[in-house]
Structure 1
Amino acid sequence: MLRTSNRSILVIEDIDCSIQLPDRKGTAPAKFLESKSVRDPMFSLSGLLNFIDGLWSCCGDERIIIFTTNHKERLDPALLRPGRMDVHIHMSYLTVDGFETLAANYLNIHDHHWRFRKIKDLIKCNKVIPAEVAEELMKSDDVDVVLEGLVRFLKRKKMEDDETKDEVDDEVHEAKKAKIIS
């Protein structure tokens, strides 16, 4: 970390699970203690906090640290406080506005007759992440081909989600029925 230069961006992916950080009292999580391959016994949450607060912030300028996590609640509150993490961005499922931004950025279009309406309707009833749609938008230079492919993708995803929901509903129904019988 000390070798990073000015105008650097440091990204620590999945901070809640990619590195096992002992807490500030020096107590490691159970998962950390069970691991036989401790990567760096000198690396601790306290050390990371000191680094963010002191060395890195005072040695140069224009540095950004990005932490990603799927479980913000697992992070020590000391790491989340302002001054250490100044901006928290929740990345959720794609919205209609998000789709319009992706279409403008990837395809340089702002409307496309019936396909936009159909895509927007499918996005409203689907849980799809922006990266999945971006991947679909990069598959061809032909706008019509891309949008038709996106419609097929969203329909297929909706069918899969509906099937999964039906399976869960069936399991819940069977569980309730078993409970009533016993």
Structure 2
Amino acid sequence: MNFNHPISFKTIAIDSKLKKEIIDDLDKFLNGKEFYEKTGRAWKREYLLYGPPGTGKSSLITAMANYLNYDIYDLDLAGVDDNLDLKNLMLRMNNLSLLVVEDIDCSIELQNREEGEENKVTLPGLLNATDGLWSCCNEERIIVFTTNHKERLDPTLPRPGRMDMHIHLSYCTFSAFKQLAFNYLGISHHNLFQEIEGLLGEVRVTPAEIAEELTKKDQFQRALARICQFLA
């Protein structure tokens, strides 16, 4: 189906420094065909997005897909019968595509190498599908895994050389708040911004929680005052 979600890197509310790092990394990947051929690597890149719920993991995936103009494939491992089925699904992906595996720590009980069972998707099966021999059959492909609990992952999954970039999406920073204020209120500066910046340095709050407060119809002075009260 057509994917018409409007979020982009211009409107996503994540830390501005992190946003630039991600865009630079994507640009390097897009222009990297010669590099991947020279180094004998499959032209693909894997990202691990981790952090508390409501910090923008799904929004970032959408912004990445829109920036790249890639097709999105949403892989629900619980709906895959076995390793062979998984391999066949991966082989049917188009080039210029982004594969999403959300909540990898709890989406399926991945069996380890010693406890592998027939007719189940195992951890080795997942690793072979994404990084094994058959992974070179598609090119210019991105795979994004998400988790709220990075510490629960099997260490073979996020190791260097497999997850190329780990992106920590944490609680709302001031730069992310400024983006939200511009998106919802149409303002870039206000005398209450300094107070809000100080409060954000002391309080753990997600961008989703701030956005929920800003969706309440109100004059922007009252909206910012309400944000101060919410953070206090």
Which TM-score band applies after superposition, normalised by the shorter structure?
Answer: 0.5 to 0.7
In the other structure, the counterpart of 1:152 is: 229
In the other structure, the counterpart of 2:189 is: 111
In the other structure, the counterpart of 1:165 is: none
> In terms of Rg, which structure is larger?
1
RMSD (CA atoms): 2.6
How far off its partner does 1:43 sit? 0.5
Q: Structure 2 unaligned runs (5+)?
A: 1-88
Higher strand share: 2
My pick for the range that moved more, 131-140 or 74-83, is: 131-140
Higher helix share: 1
1:4-55 Cα shifts (integer Å, max 9, x gaps) = 3222222222211121101122358xxxxxxxxxxx9330100100011136
How far off its partner does 1:106 sit? 4.4
CA distance in 1, matches of 2:140, 2:225: 43
Query: TM-score of the superposition, structure 2-length normalised?
Result: 0.53
How far off its partner does 1:112 sit? 0.8
Query: Is the 8 Å Cα contact of residues 116 and 122 (structure 2) preserved in structure 1?
Result: no
User: For 1:53, which of 131, 156, 168 is the aligned residue?
Assistant: 131
1:122-165 Cα shifts (integer Å, max 9, x gaps) = 2222110122113333444853343233233323xxxxxxxxxx
- Cα separation, partners in 2 of 1:148 and 1:61, compared to 1, 3 Å: farther
**Corresponding residue SS for 1:135:** helix
How far off its partner does 1:105 sit? 4.5
User: For 1:62, which of 136, 140, 143 is the aligned residue?
Assistant: 140
1:90-114 Cα shifts (integer Å, max 9, x gaps) = 122222233234334544432112x
In the other structure, the counterpart of 2:171 is: 93
**Corresponding residue SS for 1:80:** coil
Q: Percent identity?
A: 55
**Corresponding residue SS for 1:77:** coil
- Cα separation, partners in 2 of 1:83 and 1:124, compared to 1, 3 Å: same
Higher RCO, 1 vs 2 (CA within 8 Å, ≥6 residues apart): 2
User: For 1:12, which of 101, 107, 110 is the aligned residue?
Assistant: 101
Indicate yes or no: 2:153 matched with 1:75.
yes
In the other structure, the counterpart of 2:119 is: 41
- Cα separation, partners in 2 of 1:76 and 1:141, compared to 1, 3 Å: same
CA distance in 2, matches of 1:20, 1:57: 23
CA distance in 2, matches of 1:146, 1:74: 38
- Cα separation, partners in 2 of 1:44 and 1:108, compared to 1, 3 Å: same
Indicate yes or no: 2:108 matched with 1:22.
no
- Cα separation, partners in 2 of 1:136 and 1:55, compared to 1, 3 Å: farther
1:35-93 Cα shifts (integer Å, max 9, x gaps) = xxxxx933010010001113663232232211112222222222112332111111222
**Corresponding residue SS for 2:231:** helix
Indicate yes or no: 2:209 matched with 1:120.
no
